[in-house]
Structure 1
Amino acid sequence: MRALVTGGNRGIGYAMAQGLIARGCDVVIGARDAQAGASAAADLGCTSVHLDLEAPDTFAPAIDAAGPVDILINNAGILIEDSMIAYPEGLRRSMQVMFHAPFELILLCLPHMAQAGQGRIINVSSGWGAYDEGLEGPGGYGVAKAALNALSHALPRDLPKGVSVNAMCPGWVHTRMGGQAAPRTLEEGADTALWLALDAPADLTGKFFRDRHEKAW
C-alpha cells in the first residue's frame, strides 16, 4: 500500500508518515520546501515529492512522481489569524490550501483507486471547522475547515466503489502551529488518521472523527 501524506515533513504529518511506515506502508511525503521534504524523508526512510498547495502546477508532477496512491492523507494546513475583512487574501489562501488543493489531489489520485477498487482518503480537519462547535478559530481557518468537512461528508456519493473518504480532528497538538501550550502529542494527533487509513472498516465513509469516535459536523 502506498500512502501520500501532504505536509509530511514535520509535525502531525511526520508522525502520520512514521506510523504508516511502521505498519509496512510505502510512504511518500509531500512538502512545500523540497529540501525540507528530502531531509525529513531521509530521516524517515521514505521518499518525498515537492508539493506546494498554493502552487497548483506542482500537483500533477508530484502525483506522477509519487506513483499510484492507495492512501491519501490531506494533512497540510495554514493558520492565518488576520481578520477576513482586513485581510481577505488570508481567507483565499486558507481555502486554497485546505479545500481546493485537497480536492484537486483527490481527483488526481482517484483513477488508480478506481482501477484498484479500493482507496482511502483522510482529510485532516479541526473542531474549529465544525458547526457543532461554533466554527471557532481565527481568520478564515474555521471556514476553510468547514468546507473540507462538507466535502468529506458529500463526496462519498460520487466516489468509485471501494473508495472511502473521512475527516478527522487531531485535537490541540503540540506543533509549530498548535503552540507549546498544546496538551496532545504528535502520536496522539496522528492516531485517528492512521486508524482510518489502515484499520477502520473499509465501508466507513463520509464521517468526522476525533480519537476514533464519530463527532458531529
Structure 2
Amino acid sequence: MESQREKEKEKDSEREEDTDSENDEREEGRECQKLRDKKKEKRERAKERREKRRQQISLLRTIPYSDHQRWWSADTIALVTGANRGIGFEIVRQLAMHGLTVILTSRDVAVGEEAAKVLQEGGLNVLFHQLDIVDPSSIKVFTEWIQQNCGGVDILVNNAGVNFNHGPDNQLECAEQVICTNYFGTKNIIQAMIPLMRPSSSGARIVNVSSRLGRINGRRNRIGDLTLRRQLEDVDSLSEELIDRTVTSFLEQVKDGSWTSGGWPQTYTDYSISKLAVNTYTRIMAKMLSDRPEGQKICINCYCPGWVKTAMTGWAGHTSPEEGADTAVWLALLPDQVVTGKFFAERRELVRMLRTIAKSSLNQPT
C-alpha cells in the first residue's frame, strides 16, 4: 500500500515536471515570438523611413538649380569611371542632363562606346575613352588624352569597383582583385587626376562611391581590433601607409587561411575592407587638399548609393540605379564646395552617434 502511494506521488511529480517543462517551452516560444515581432516591426519602420526619404529626394530632384546655384556650364568636364552600366551609367546621364560635358569610361571599349552612343543619341554631351584603373599604362594613355582634348577635369566620380564574395567564403584571387580595384585603383586615378583638376572659384570635386559596410564604427561588419579601429578613426595620426598595411595584412591572412579569426568582417569581407580603405583614404585626402590656395581648392567626399538593383547585387537591391546615382550627382554639383572629407547617403551626412571607441577606452583599467 505504501509502495503504491509512493508510485502515485512519483507520477504526480513527473506530471508536474512535464507541466512545468511545457509551460517553460510555451514561455520561451512567446519570448521568441516577441523578438521576431520586434525585428519585424524594426524592419517595417526602416522600410517606411527609407520610402519616405526616397519620396523626399524624388521631390527635391524636381526642383531645378537656380542661376545663382549653377556654378557649372557646358565647358565643365566631369569624369566617371566604370560607367558603362548601372550606377556609373546613371551618374553620367544625370550629370549630362544638367548640361555638363561628361567623360564615360570603362575597361571594355565595345560596351563603353555603346553606352556612350545611347546617351549621345539622346542629345547629351558625352565622350568615351577606355580606362582600366588598375593598369598604369591605361591610366597614362588616358591622362594624356585628357590633357590634349579637354585641358583637365572639374569633377571626378570614382565609381569603378568589383565585388565577388556574397557570404563567408573567401578566396585569395577574388580578395586581391577586389582590394586592387576598389582601393588601389581608386587611389591610382585620384593621384593621376589631381594635377589635371582645373582651378576655379567654385573648386574641383571628387566623389568616391563607397558603402556603409566600410564604416569604421558601423554597427555591423566592423573590424574587431579595437586598437586598429582607433588608429583608423584618428585623422591626425591616420596615414596612407596605415591603410595600405591594413589591407595588406588582410590579404596575407586570406592567403594563409587565418582571416576568419583575425577580427575581420565575416560577410562581404573583401568588399567591406576595400570600402573601409576608400572611406579612410577620402578623409586623408580631404586633409591633404585643404591647404591648397583659393581658386585651386578640391573637395573630396564619399557616399553609399544603397542596395541598388545592378549586376553587382544580382539585381536583388531595393533601390534603382537612378536613385543610387542621385547623391553622387548632388555632391558633385553642390553650390557650396566647402564640404569635404565626409560620408553621405541619401543626400545626408552619416554622422557617427556616440564615440564607442572613446567610451570603451575610458572604461579600460589604468
Q: Which moved more, 1:148-157 or 1:54-63?
A: 54-63
Q: 1:150 pairs with 280, 283, 308, which one?
A: 280
Contact 1:30 1:51 in 2 (8 A): yes
Contact 1:12 1:186 in 2 (8 A): yes
TM-score, structure 2 normalization: 0.56
Q: CA deviation at 1:138?
A: 1.8
1:37 aligns to what?
112
**Aligned AA for 2:214?**
G
Q: CA deviation at 1:8?
A: 0.8
1:4 aligns with 2:4: no
Distance 1:114 1:65, change over 3 A: closer
Q: Which moved more, 1:53-62 or 1:96-105?
A: 53-62
1:215 aligns to what?
350
Partner SS for 2:208: strand
Q: Which moved more, 1:118-127 or 1:132-141?
A: 132-141
Alpha-carbon separation, structure 2, partners of 1:37 and 1:20: 17
1:57 aligns with 2:192: no
1:127 aligns to what?
212
Partner SS for 2:282: helix
Distance 1:133 1:50, change over 3 A: farther
Q: 2:95 pairs with 5, 20, 36, which one?
A: 20
Q: CA deviation at 1:83?
A: 7.9
2:197 aligns to what?
113
Alpha-carbon separation, structure 2, partners of 1:100 and 1:114: 24
Distance 1:86 1:12, change over 3 A: closer
Contact 1:29 1:37 in 2 (8 A): yes
**Aligned AA for 2:334?**
D
Partner SS for 1:177: helix
Alpha-carbon separation, structure 1, partners of 2:198 and 2:92: 23
TM-score, structure 1 normalization: 0.92
Partner SS for 1:167: strand
1:74 aligns to what?
158
Contact 1:18 1:44 in 2 (8 A): yes
Alpha-carbon separation, structure 1, partners of 2:349 and 2:339: 11
Q: CA deviation at 1:115?
A: 4.2
| Percent identical residues | 34
Alpha-carbon separation, structure 2, partners of 1:109 and 1:54: 14
Q: 2:302 pairs with 167, 172, 197, which one?
A: 167
Alpha-carbon separation, structure 2, partners of 1:42 and 1:179: 25
Distance 1:207 1:81, change over 3 A: same
**Aligned AA for 2:270?**
G
Alpha-carbon separation, structure 2, partners of 1:79 and 1:195: 25
Q: Which moved more, 1:12-21 or 1:78-87?
A: 78-87
Alpha-carbon separation, structure 2, partners of 1:55 and 1:43: 27
Identify unmatched segments of 5+ residues in structure 1.
none
Pairwise CA RMSD of aligned residues?
Answer: 2.0
Contact 1:5 1:72 in 2 (8 A): yes
Alpha-carbon separation, structure 2, partners of 1:107 and 1:116: 19
Partner SS for 1:110: helix
Q: 1:206 pairs with 324, 337, 341, which one?
A: 341
1:87 aligns with 2:171: yes
Q: CA deviation at 1:52?
A: 1.4
Alpha-carbon separation, structure 2, partners of 1:180 and 1:34: 24
Question: Max radius of gyration: which structure?
Answer: 2
Alpha-carbon separation, structure 2, partners of 1:21 and 1:114: 19
Alpha-carbon separation, structure 2, partners of 1:133 and 1:6: 30
**Aligned AA for 1:27?**
V
2:180 aligns to what?
96
Partner SS for 1:121: strand
Q: CA deviation at 1:133?
A: 3.8
Q: Which moved more, 1:137-146 or 1:56-65?
A: 56-65
**Relative contact order higher in (CA < 8 Å, ≥ 6 apart):** 1
